[in-house]
Amino acid sequence: MGLNCARNSWDMSALGGGITKVSMSNGRLQEDLTLRVKRCIIDSIGVKVAPSAIPDDMPLLDKGLGLDSVAILRLVAALEDEFNVEIEDKVIRPELFRSVGTLSQYMATRTEDGPTGA
CATH fold label, 13-110:
1.10.1200
Write out the DSSP string of 70-113. Answer: HHHHHHHHHHHHHHT----GGG-SGGGGS-HHHHHHHHHHH-TT
Per residue in 25-83, pLDDT (tens digit) is 456 777 889 999 999 999 988 888 999 999 999 999 988 888 999 999 999 999 999 99
What angle in degrees, to the nearest 10, is found between the helix axes of 27-45 and 69-83?
A: 130
CA distance 77 to 1: 7
Residue ranges per domain, the chain? 13-110
pTM comes to: 0.71
Give yes or no for residue 15 having a pLDDT over 80. no
